[in-house]
Amino acid sequence: MDQNRLITMANQIAGFFEPYSEEEAIEGVEQHIKSFWEPRMREQLQAVLTDHPDSLLPVVRKAAARLA
């Protein structure tokens, strides 16, 4: 998957959880990615977390770190 598309998708998921508390949002993003993203996409997210962490919203960075 295109890296920019993956970043957009991850940040959109975080946007959905924006009204929730930070912990609920992190858990929601983590669970969504775990449940609906294929392993290859999760690996790409880890690469983005390492190479371009500022492109991800803080909630996504924290959720991705938990998935690592």
Q: According to the model, what pLDDT value does residue 25 have?
A: 98
Q: According to the model, what pLDDT value does residue 1 have?
A: 86
Classify residue 3 by burial, with Cβ atoms within 10 Å: 0-12, 13-18, 19+.
Answer: middle
Q: Where are the beta strands (DSSP E) in 1-68?
A: none
Decide: helix, strand or coil at residue 4.
helix
* Token pair belonging to 24: 């609920």
CB 33 within 8 A of CB 67: yes
This prediction has a pTM of 0.94
pLDDT of 22-68, one tens digit each? 999 999 999 999 999 999 999 999 999 999 999 999 999 999 999 98
* Three-state SS letters, 27-40: HHHHHHHHHHCCHH
Q: According to the model, what pLDDT value does residue 65 have?
A: 97
